[in-house]
């Protein structure tokens, strides 16, 4: 995805050891465009940990200090001293998503090794992106057969689904007061999915955004 950002004119910045877009047209312009239509952000630098095994609920409690949410739901907790999300994908499987640069050793120490659970760092193996804005849901609906209506996918609901014919994990997590969805998929599909969103969103006002606009939108609420 890095090449797409550079070719798209993004101003790049280092985030937790990753080089990501800070802004394209400028943070304020991107925030306005997202509020009017929809914005697209690269979340690939997020720390991502997969939890598998019969001891998943206990591992979630140990890792984030909260009870494991129900299957199909996500919850906020603290992972290695930083705010993170846990997405419960199945009774024996979850995905923890934290800020860039989360120390691997700190996370691994937080989970007791009992032989029933495996904790795998998938940070560099998964691409991540966010679509947010009034048109976000309509754009998603053209790429997936999953029902993304508010009643079917409320705030902090998560699901595994096909997205543009690619297996992906989808999380409804609003950005301030904007409807927003996070998508995580295998890294080799990152550029393909980014371009799929750009293609579908070109008639709906979609703009590529950097993390500068993300901060502005969060601060406005």
Q: Do domains 2-45+124-219 and 47-123 have the same CATH topology?
A: no
Q: What is the pLDDT of residues 155-188, one digit of tens each?
A: 999 999 999 999 999 999 999 889 999 999 999 9
Kindly report the CATH number that applies to the domain delimited by 47-123.
3.30.70.1400
Where do the domains of the chain lie?
A: 2-45+124-219, 47-123
Rounded Cα–Cα distance for residues 158 and 88 (Å): 8
Give the Å distances, CA to CA, from 25 to 29, 129, 177, 199, 204.
6, 18, 22, 19, 18
Q: What is the pLDDT of residues 27-56, one digit of tens each?
A: 999 999 999 999 999 999 999 999 999 989
Rounded Cα–Cα distance for residues 44 and 28 (Å): 22
Mean pLDDT confidence for 93-98: 95
pTM of the model: 0.93
Kindly report the CATH number that applies to the domain delimited by 2-45+124-219.
3.30.1360.120
Q: What is the pLDDT of residues 105-114, one digit of tens each?
A: 666 665 655 5
Assign 146 a pLDDT band (cuts: 50, 70, 90).
Answer: very high
Assign 104 a pLDDT band (cuts: 50, 70, 90).
Answer: low
DSSP annotation string for 150-219? TTTS-TTBEEEEEETTEEEEEEE--BTTB-EEEEEEEGGGHHHHHHHHHHHHTTTTEEE--HHHHHHHHH
Mean pLDDT confidence for 139-146: 97
């Amino acid at each position: 995805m890095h090449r797409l950002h550079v070719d798209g004119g993004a101003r790049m910045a280092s985030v937790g050891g990753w080089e990501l877009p800070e802004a394209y047209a400028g943070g304020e312009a991107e925030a306005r465009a997202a509020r009017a239509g929809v914005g697209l952000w690269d979340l690939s630098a997020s720390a991502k940990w997969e939890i598998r095994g019969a001891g998943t609920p206990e591992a979630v409690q140990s890792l984030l200090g909260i009870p494991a949410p129900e299957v199909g739901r996500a919850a906020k907790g603290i992972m290695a001293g930083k705010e993170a999300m846990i997405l419960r994908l199945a009774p024996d499987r979850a995905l923890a998503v934290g800020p860039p640069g989360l120390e691997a050793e700190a996370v691994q120490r937080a989970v007791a090794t009992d032989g029933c659970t495996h904790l795998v760092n998938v940070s560099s193996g998964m691409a991540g992106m966010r679509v947010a804005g009034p048109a976000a849901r309509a754009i998603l609906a053209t790429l997936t057969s999953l029902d993304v209506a508010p009643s079917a996918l409320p705030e902090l609901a998560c699901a595994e689904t096909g997205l543009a014919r690619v297996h992906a994990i989808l999380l409804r997590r609003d950005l301030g007061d904007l409807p927003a969805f996070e998508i995580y998929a295998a890294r080799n599909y990152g550029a393909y999915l980014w371009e799929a969103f750009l293609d579908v969103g070109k008639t709906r006002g979609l703009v590529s955004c950097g993390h500068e606009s993300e901060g502005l939108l969060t601060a406005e609420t």
